[in-house]
Structure 1
Amino acid sequence: MLNITNEYVSSRSIILSMETDKRRQWNLKRVCVRLVDCRKTSEMVDSSECLLLIGRSLSSGEAEQHLDNEKQCISNAKLFKKQCRQSGEKPYHCLDCGSNFMTSKELKVHQQIHTGENPYGCDQCGKRFTQSRYLVTHQRIHTEEKPYGCDQCGKRFTQSRYLVTHQRIHTGEKPYGCDQCGKTFAWSGNLVTHQRIHTGEKPYHCLDCGRNFMTSNELKIHQRTHTGDKCYSCDQCGKRFAQSGNLVVHKRIHTGEKLYGCDQCGKRFAQSGSLVVHKRIHTGEKLYGCDQCGKRFAHSGNLVVHKRIHTGEKPYGCDQCGKRFAQSGSLVEHRRIHTGYKPYGCDQCENRFGCSGHLAKHKKIHTGEKPYHCLDCGSNFMTSNELKVHYWKHTGEKPYGCDECGKKFSRLGTLVAHKRIHTGEKPYGCDQCGKKFAWSGHLVVHKRIHTGEKPYGCDQCGKTFSVSGHLVSHKRIHTAEKT
């Protein structure tokens, strides 16, 4: 006889007393013992009786049939689950790996890991799942159903947990803190990734090139550099992207949408990262420092480009003339010399320019604006670079030296042009006759032979010239100046 007055019935004692085979031991534990409310009965029961049917004796045949029955008794199921939650007991044991579970359903789902069973299949794509709820969630990809909506901004989600984490954007809640540096995060996954900065851990490995990455998404994106795969395409212009986020941002070019606004000056941006970087103008924050000279920058990209001054690296080369550049944007602008493409037009006159900086500088001719002021002599300049070069007249500084002949220059561009004397390089070619020149200015003057353009006019007699130097020489006729 078993006394179950003051303690839970031990499944082990019942299993041993019944002397059944392993399967029946398991069913006895599963069907009978789990549903006994041991604290509410004081009866003495025989071990051959069903503990759910106290007071009702079973014949040996009935007991055997009951023990072989795999259906769950449910009369006291809720009570038993409540007891398990309160006590923390996990009476369901996986014989394969030893894991314990609170309910038989949890155990059943877990055992599908060992069996590989995925009983729930999607009729759209065939993907299979261990639980029906995972299938329901997955099918929302096909139906585009998003039942969970944010009451702040209206954004909708396929799963409630995504809504919960999204709402932290509005509340500012960041419950996950780094124990190394104190930085906090809205999402636990971001904390895990962040902590790898401290540990240096990069668990995701590219089998093609051997590079390691901190996140699986970084690896996935990187692998597209090997495959050339660009899965996401713009339905407006057809441009393709390797990342869906890049496509979302790109589409704002077509819509003009700028979601992110600066609370200091009101300027708006299409990308959140651009807003973050912009705010450093107001705060003066410069996070990125050069380990060679100590110069600091607000943008990591500017630091990367700056370091090329020290290394001499010029990774971007022109396929027309071979000239190389430290920045990709400089190469893009340079190529327009060869193509003649001038996308930037002045709204005051008909002049057009190959780069936006030249247009901005040109517009100051119309406005007369010279915002850069020399404290030494009072001269004003249209650009900060003009002022910088001007200062060197006062200091006598010529920071750019030719490594061939030692001649020094106050302007980098002048040094670059000078070096062509030594190399014989003539990168600028006339598209009319093919004649080549070492300097772009010489090409501009030469083209006037073909066009007949003579932009320099004498204010004394009206005679015009194609070269400014010729006008200067001509004016000496009027002034009787002799050379």
Structure 2
Amino acid sequence: MFARTKVKYKEELCGVQEENEGQRQPLDAVCKQPRGVLNRADVSEKYLCPERQEPEFPGVKEEEDLEPLQVKEEEQPQPPNIKKEEPLPPYIKEEDHFTELPVTGVHLKTENECQYEENKGAEPPSSSSTQQIAEDDEDHRGRSQADSWLAPMSDGEDTSSHSPHTDDYEQSDGDVTCHTDSKRCKCSQCGKTFGNKYQLRKHVIIHSSGKPFACPVCGRSFFEKGSLKIHTRTHTGEKPFSCSVCGKKFTQTGQLKQHTRTHTGEKPFACSVCGQTFSVNENLKIHTRTHTGEKPFACSVCGLQFSGKRNLTIHTRTHTGEKPFTCSVCGQNFARKVTLTQHTRTHTGEKPFTCLVCGQNYAHKGYLKIHTRTHTGEKPFACSACGKKFAANTSLKQHSRTHTGEKHFACSVCGQTFSLNENLKIHTRTHTGEKPFTCCVCGKKFAVNELLKNHTRTHTGEKPFACLVCGLKFSKKYNLTVHTRTHTGEKPFACSVCGQNFSQKGYLKIHTRTHTGEKPFACSVCGKNFACSQLLKRHTPTHTGEKPFACLICGLKFSCKGNLEIHTRTHTGEKPFACSVCGQNFTHKESLKIHTRTHTGEKPFTCSVCGQKFACSQRLKKHTRTHTGEKPFACLVCGLKFSKKDNLTIHTRTHTGEKPFSCSVCGQRFPSKAKAKSHKCAGENSNDY
């Protein structure tokens, strides 16, 4: 009787299916689901408020002989997720038998039906559905490794796949929309509406207590099974979506779409404020925050806020020290992928960014942008303290530290601090002796690339830096900057002790030693110390007797170039330094400085023995020898020693017979100026010599 009834039922079913080809069994999913699944705790029917009612089906003649369908000859174990005592959903009458339901209407595949298709480990509630699932299982044995990692669902369902049999709905870019003749389903929690029950059930999960889909590798949880599937590929390395242009592979179709726009140049997302276009919608969202000022992502450590989540992630690594990106060539680690990409170009030599004006190539796009401003003259970054403008933000930051005195970067060897990290790196090489930059012409090595560039110009003779005022050219940009101050009179470096200003930082450094008494440069022959290296260079020839600088007029030789320049003025009569008080001119700047003290009465040099003061240091030195008895100047002919160099010069003339001073009246000549003054001619003193 049971078999005959079953055959009869199948015949009826086939007849209805032929008449309604485009429709499926409306409650086929209900037949396959246990009652416990339909009344889950986390996704209950109380969330589902369909604004439409299930269609009433015409009655089918009841046959009491169909009762054995609910009776199993052999008791089979019941799945753990089936609760016998829970009632059926309100739209199914308890007295209606499953086999008596009609087959007209639109089929809505339920969540657990999708579950049975994907996860075959759970046993279905009836023998008929068991047979169907067993057949489906044969078709799904070839799933990928990522699918095999997906944990079986307990009270959830496959929220990432759409029912292929939902004929009453259409798919468009992953969104399910209802036909105009269908009503929408509304969530009772938030009021959001959906095109079908499946979308509603998928949405209801977010109101539940947790994320039902957990990764078995790292334990991360997801609301949707599809999200878990995509995440799993980060563990398996699977990238099933390949670019048809360059062959690059991706884990998601969305990533492939975004990448494809790099080939097509398509930028479909436009800013409504400034009109700037973007290839990725997320980039548009982040850009929009530059107009609104919104920074929704805050660092939990320091509280710094960011407009993009990615920026926050990168910033967090400054606290954790995490550097997940490693160079395959040298093994150096980086906190950002873009930094690794830029670093890699130091190995490959790649410079993909070219200036359209001069054709110069750069490894980084940012460098090209800054370089372009040298052609346009644009300087968008202004100092808030002095108003000076810069083409690059980093240059502004560096300049700002000259106002604040901020020096973040300290040497681990000597403790010296620097305002720039690059300066610290260069300084460190003075300890290590490292000189990585080599001249390709002479092989000379340098610790700084800029020094190598300057040195190379000594071979090429290139002087690319020209003064806009006088046209004088220089091989170094710094020399041009210093030279320009001779026109402007600018002296930006001030002594913190006496307030004296200097045009160069090096001059200020040397001057400061006059206050501290520091003399770091020592002569290797006599041990004498000097405040600057230039003074040591001048002193060294006194031991070697070397005088490489010769006067072109009289042939007199000098040990330093400066002394030759001063001497040359004795021939030309040039006296470029004039006193602002009396107008007297001098051939040497130092002579003018000493002369000025005759007007001011300033005597800054004091004898430590007797306290006598002097206007110049040279006079103090001569005076000091009266206390010490020192006579450092010896005659090379007779060996006689003198405390003053002038006395030695006059004495030497007794051996040479030289008499450079003559009387203008009688013409008599004398070896010294003092003797010429004391000479009396025609009963009168003559001062004209």
State the shift of 1:96 in Å: 10
1:193 touches 1:215 (CA, 8 Å); kept in 2? yes
Is 1:275 paired with 2:452? yes
Q: Which is worse superposed, 348-357 or 453-462?
A: 453-462
State the shift of 1:187 in Å: 0.9
Q: Which residue of 2 aligns with 1:328?
A: 505
Rounded Cα–Cα distance in structure 2 between residues aligned with 1:275 and 1:199: 28
Aligned equivalent of 2:253, options 69, 73, 81: 81
Where structure 1 has 5 or more consecutive residues not aligned to the other structure, the ranges are: 1-18, 21-33
Q: Which is worse superposed, 266-275 or 377-386?
A: 377-386
- Which residue identity lines up with residue 65 of structure 1 in the other structure? K
Secondary structure class of the residue paired with 2:196: helix
Rounded Cα–Cα distance in structure 2 between residues aligned with 1:307 and 1:391: 26
Is 1:442 paired with 2:442? no
Is 1:388 paired with 2:388? no
Rounded Cα–Cα distance in structure 2 between residues aligned with 1:481 and 1:95: 92
Q: Which residue of 2 aligns with 1:293?
A: 470
Q: Which is worse superposed, 274-283 or 440-449?
A: 274-283
Secondary structure class of the residue paired with 1:266: coil
State the shift of 1:190 in Å: 0.9
Distance 1:154 1:456, change over 3 A: same
- Which residue identity lines up with residue 217 of structure 1 in the other structure? T
- Which residue identity lines up with residue 195 of structure 1 in the other structure? T
Rounded Cα–Cα distance in structure 2 between residues aligned with 1:442 and 1:371: 28
- Which residue identity lines up with residue 412 of structure 2 in the other structure? D
Map 1:365-444 to 2 at 5 A.
365-444=542-621
State the shift of 1:411 in Å: 2.9
Distance 1:207 1:391, change over 3 A: closer
Map 1:60-459 to 2 at 5 A.
64-68=196-200, 69-70=202-203, 81=253, 118=297, 135=313, 138-139=316-317, 142-145=320-323, 147-149=325-327, 151=329, 155-207=332-384, 210-225=387-402, 227-317=404-494, 324-457=501-634
- Which residue identity lines up with residue 235 of structure 1 in the other structure? S
Rounded Cα–Cα distance in structure 1 between residues aligned with 2:467 and 2:272: 56
Q: Which is worse superposed, 394-403 or 243-252?
A: 394-403
State the shift of 1:348 in Å: 1.8
Q: Describe the superposition over 1:341-392 as per-residue Cα deviations: whole angstroms up to 9, x where unpaired.
A: 3222111223222221121122223333333344445444322333334444
State the shift of 1:91 in Å: 13
Q: Describe the superposition over 1:137-170 as per-residue Cα deviations: whole angstroms up to 9, x where unpaired.
A: 953762453542252x554433443233223334
2:271 touches 2:277 (CA, 8 Å); kept in 1? no
Percent identical: 39
Q: Describe the superposition over 1:435-468 as per-residue Cα deviations: whole angstroms up to 9, x where unpaired.
A: 3222221011112233232334567887654334
State the shift of 1:65 in Å: 1.0
Q: Which is worse superposed, 364-373 or 180-189?
A: 364-373
Distance 1:438 1:412, change over 3 A: same
Distance 1:170 1:464, change over 3 A: same
Q: Describe the superposition over 1:388-430 as per-residue Cα deviations: whole angstroms up to 9, x where unpaired.
A: 3444444444444444444443333333333333443333233
Q: Which is worse superposed, 221-230 or 469-478?
A: 469-478
1:193 touches 1:214 (CA, 8 Å); kept in 2? yes
State the shift of 1:211 in Å: 4.7
1:94 touches 1:111 (CA, 8 Å); kept in 2? no
Rounded Cα–Cα distance in structure 2 between residues aligned with 1:349 and 1:179: 60
Q: Which residue of 1 aligns with 2:126?
A: none
Where structure 2 has 5 or more consecutive residues not aligned to the other structure, the ranges are: 1-50, 53-159, 177-181, 186-194, 204-222, 231-239, 242-251, 658-669, 676-689
Rounded Cα–Cα distance in structure 2 between residues aligned with 1:308 and 1:217: 25
Q: Describe the superposition over 1:16-39 as per-residue Cα deviations: whole angstroms up to 9, x where unpaired.
A: xxx99xxxxxxxxxxxxx999xxx
Give the TM-score, by structure 1 length.
0.70
- Which residue identity lines up with residue 196 of structure 2 in the other structure? E
State the shift of 1:193 in Å: 1.5
Q: Which residue of 2 aligns with 1:11?
A: none
Q: Describe the superposition over 1:167-224 as per-residue Cα deviations: whole angstroms up to 9, x where unpaired.
A: 3334443222222333332211111122223333333355555554433333334444
Distance 1:371 1:290, change over 3 A: same
Rounded Cα–Cα distance in structure 2 between residues aligned with 1:188 and 1:358: 47
Rounded Cα–Cα distance in structure 2 between residues aligned with 1:221 and 1:200: 20
Decide which structure has greater helix share. 1
Rounded Cα–Cα distance in structure 2 between residues aligned with 1:160 and 1:389: 61
1:148 touches 1:163 (CA, 8 Å); kept in 2? yes
Rounded Cα–Cα distance in structure 2 between residues aligned with 1:404 and 1:329: 29
1:176 touches 1:191 (CA, 8 Å); kept in 2? yes
- Which residue identity lines up with residue 465 of structure 2 in the other structure? Y
Secondary structure class of the residue paired with 2:527: coil
Distance 1:314 1:416, change over 3 A: farther
2:513 touches 2:519 (CA, 8 Å); kept in 1? yes
1:92 touches 1:107 (CA, 8 Å); kept in 2? no
2:295 touches 2:305 (CA, 8 Å); kept in 1? no
Rounded Cα–Cα distance in structure 2 between residues aligned with 1:327 and 1:364: 27
Q: Describe the superposition over 1:464-483 as per-residue Cα deviations: whole angstroms up to 9, x where unpaired.
A: 54334455677899999894
Rounded Cα–Cα distance in structure 2 between residues aligned with 1:458 and 1:100: 87
Which one has the largest radius of gyration? 2
Q: Which is worse superposed, 65-74 or 160-169?
A: 65-74
State the shift of 1:267 in Å: 2.8
- Which residue identity lines up with residue 253 of structure 2 in the other structure? K
Rounded Cα–Cα distance in structure 1 between residues aligned with 2:616 and 2:557: 28
1:124 touches 1:142 (CA, 8 Å); kept in 2? no
| Structure with higher RCO (Cα < 8 A, 6+ apart) | 2
Distance 1:281 1:193, change over 3 A: same
Rounded Cα–Cα distance in structure 1 between residues aligned with 2:504 and 2:404: 26
Rounded Cα–Cα distance in structure 1 between residues aligned with 2:295 and 2:491: 54
Distance 1:222 1:336, change over 3 A: closer
State the shift of 1:134 in Å: 7.0
1:81 touches 1:102 (CA, 8 Å); kept in 2? no
2:603 touches 2:614 (CA, 8 Å); kept in 1? yes
- Which residue identity lines up with residue 167 of structure 1 in the other structure? T
1:90 touches 1:102 (CA, 8 Å); kept in 2? yes
Distance 1:284 1:416, change over 3 A: farther
Rounded Cα–Cα distance in structure 1 between residues aligned with 2:356 and 2:444: 36
